[in-house]
């Protein structure tokens, strides 16, 4: 029986040089971190968030070319305009990272204003859908859609019902879209971070009790640091991950194990 034919070379697991990448939520926190990682690896990046001055500051920090796209990911027309901007600037789009998110902590269902519930779902879930929808219009075979989920989508915490629902919903959405877009050769995956020190997580980090509970429930007994997260996205964006779709990749130091 013939053994596997060994290729002359293998795609680099984080090789994104030359790729054209949208990063939403790129004005600070994890999105800014991802913009740095992709730009440093030779990708061209389109930076999305509502606050233009943040995006300009991030663009100025990056080692490579970036375009700044200020707007709200809950606006369908805005997402389409970002896809159009990538095509106008670069002639196409290879990777869309839906990372914009909000996570207000509330005091249970009675403390959750219905408008707040809707907004959290809108930004974290509908925003990712609208991004994927826009990306699917302009991406060719080999395209990559990556959504930032959360371990809280699988293991909820009190006070975060809307956020947990949105992040759990993201998993179902990504799996269904993976089926929808497989014929076009586009993959759809979720990265589920554990606990990372960003502006969004600062309330937890600054509360000694909560911060300690995060460490207690993380197998590696620490918060995630800046070099811990981007590798998962770089892998899922690279040619090495062409057979990975509909997956959820926790980057959580073992939070879901404890
Ligand atoms: N930090 C963690 O430990 C952690 C863990 C698991 C998952 N996550 C997820 O990781 C993602 C990034 O979180 P982070 O910690 O980096 O949060 P962050 O520091 O608060 O940054 C969020 C980014 O999203 C942007 N954004 C918020 N609402 C938006 C909207 N409607 N339209 C466009 N951009 C919007 C913000 O900019 P503007 O306000 O200017 O729009 C900002 O650039 C989120 O999806 C979050 O749920 C974070």
Q: Which two tokens stand for residue 74?
A: 């809950």
Looking at every residue in the chain, the average pLDDT score rounds to 96
**28 CB within 6 A, ligand 1:** yes
DSSP β-ladder status, 248-251 and 144-148: unpaired
HEC string of 155-166? CCCCCCHHHHHH
pTM of the model: 0.98
Which one from 163, 195, 196, 235 is the annotated catalytic residue?
A: 163
**Structure confidence at residue 234 as a pLDDT band (50, 70, 90):** very high
* Assigned domain for 158 exists: yes
Does the residue 11 lie in any domain? no
User: Would 215 be classed as within a structural domain?
Assistant: no
CA 204/CA 150 separation, integer angstroms: 15
Answer whether residue 113 is part of any domain. Answer: yes
Is residue 213 included in any domain, yes or no?
no
User: Residue 199 pLDDT > 90, yes or no?
Assistant: no
Assign 208 a pLDDT band (cuts: 50, 70, 90): confident
pLDDT of residue 210: 84
Q: Please report whether residue 199 resides in a domain.
A: no
Domains of the chain: total = 1
* pLDDT above 90 for 203: no
Contacts of 87 (CB under 8 A, 6+ apart): 93, 138
Is 163 designated active site? yes
Alpha-carbon distance of 228 to 242, in angstroms, equals 22
pLDDT surpasses 90 at 209 = no
Strand partners, 196: 224
Dist. CA 125–CA 119, nearest whole Å: 10
Which tokens in the block code for residue 118?
């809707």
Residue 3 domain flag: no
- Tokens representing 43 are 């990708």
| Residue-wise pLDDT tens digits, 120-149 | 999 999 999 999 999 999 999 999 999 999
Rounded CA gap, 168 and 171, in Å?
5
- Residue 241 Cβ inside 6 Å of ligand 1? The answer reads no
pLDDT digits (tens, 9 = 90+) for 26-48: 999 999 999 999 999 999 999 99
Residue closest by Cα to atom 42 of ligand 1: 25
Q: 106 falls in which pLDDT band (50, 70, 90)?
A: confident
Residue range(s) defining the domain that contains residue 238: 20-193+229-249
Which range among 87-91, 104-108, 161-165 shows the weakest confidence by mean pLDDT? Answer: 104-108
Mean pLDDT, rounded, for 165-194: 98
Q: Is the pLDDT of residue 5 over 90?
A: yes
Q: In the chain, what percentage of residues exceed pLDDT 90?
A: 90
Asked, for residue 220, whether it belongs to a domain, the answer is no
- How far, in Å, CA of 240 to CA of 17, rounded? 13
Q: What's 95's domain CATH number?
A: 3.40.50.720
Q: Residue 99 and residue 131: Cα distance in Å, rounded?
A: 10
CA of 147 to the centre of ligand 1 (A): 12
What lies within 8 Å, CB to CB, of 54 at 6+ separation is 27, 28
**C-alpha 3 – ligand 1 centre gap (Å):** 47
Percent of the chain with pLDDT over 70: 100
231 C-alpha to ligand 1 centroid (Å)? 19
53-57, 73-77, 88-92, 214-218: the lowest-pLDDT one:
214-218
Half-sphere exposure of 117 (CA within 13 A, CB side): 10
Residues 212-218, mean pLDDT to the nearest whole number: 92
Query: Residue 232's Cα: distance from chain center in Å?
Result: 10
Sheet holding 248-251, edge to edge: 66-70, 44-49, 20-24, 95-98, 144-148, 187-193, 248-251
């Amino acid at each position: 029986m013939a053994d596997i034919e060994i290729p002359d070379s293998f795609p680099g697991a984080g090789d994104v040089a030359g790729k054209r990448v949208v990063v939403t939520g790129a004005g600070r926190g994890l999105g800014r971190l991802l913009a740095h990682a992709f730009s440093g690896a030779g990708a061209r990046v389109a930076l999305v968030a509502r606050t233009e001055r943040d995006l300009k500051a991030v663009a100025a920090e990056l080692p490579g070319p970036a375009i700044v796209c200020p707007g709200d990911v809950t606006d369908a027309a805005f997402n389409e305009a970002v896809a159009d901007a990538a095509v106008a600037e670069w002639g196409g789009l290879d990777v869309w990272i839906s990372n914009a998110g909000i996570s207000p902590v509330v005091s249970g269902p009675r403390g959750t204003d219905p408008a707040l519930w809707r907004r959290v779902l809108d930004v974290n879930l509908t925003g990712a859908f609208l991004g994927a929808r826009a990306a699917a219009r302009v991406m060719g075979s080999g395209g990559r859609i990556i959504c930032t989920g959360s371990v809280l989508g699988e293991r909820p915490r009190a006070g975060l019902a809307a956020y947990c629902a949105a992040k759990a919903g993201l998993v179902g959405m990504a799996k269904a879209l993976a089926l929808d877009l497989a014929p076009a050769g586009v993959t759809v995956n979720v990265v589920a971070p554990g606990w990372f020190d960003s502006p969004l997580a600062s309330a937890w980090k600054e509360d000694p009790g909560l911060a300690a509970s995060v460490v207690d429930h993380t197998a590696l007994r620490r918060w995630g640091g800046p070099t811990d997260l981007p590798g998962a996205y770089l892998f899922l964006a690279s040619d090495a991950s062409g057979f990975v779709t509909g997956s959820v990749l926790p980057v959580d130091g073992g939070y879901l194990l404890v």
